Amino acid sequence: MSSSEIISAWESYETGLQLQREGKYKEAISAFNKAIEHNPKYMHFFQRGRAYMALNQYRNAINDFSTVINLNPSIRNAYFYRGRAFRNIGKKKRGLSDITKAANLGSGDAKRWLKLKSK
C-alpha cells in the first residue's frame, strides 16, 4: 500500500467522521466506503456500521460490525452495536448474547444498557 493510499484513506475517514457528526449519514457512508477502498481498517468499518445504524440499515450494520470483530475481536463496542442491530431485526437472543459479551469485555455502554433492561 502506498503512502498516498494511506493518506487518502485517512482523509476519507476524517471526512466521514465530520459528516457523521453533522447527521449526514449517507454522505458519511460514501466517505467511509472510500476509506475502506484505500485501506480496509477495522475503524473504517466500525464507523460505517454506526452510520448504517443511524439510517436503520441494521443488516448492513451487522455485516460491518462482524467485519470489525473478525479484524479485531477486542473491539467491545462492535459487539454492543451488533447486538443492538440484531435486536432491531428481531433476533433478541443473538443480540443479548453480543451485548453481554461487550459488557464482559468492559463496554460501559453495554453495561448501562443491560442495567436499564433489567429494571
- Neighbour tally for 19: CB within 10 Å: 19
pLDDT tens by residue, 85-104:
999 999 999 999 999 999 99
Q: Quick check: pTM over 0.85?
A: yes
d(CA 26, CA 8): 19
Residue 84: give its domain's CATH number: 1.25.40.10
Q: Which of 53, 116, 46, 117 is nearest to 85 (CA)?
A: 53
Give the range of the structural domain holding residue 105, as residue numbers without chain letter.
Answer: 3-117
Least reliable range by pLDDT among 6-10, 51-55, 87-91: 6-10
Residue with cell 445504524: 53
- How many domains, in total, are found in the chain? 1
d(CA 37, CA 115): 39
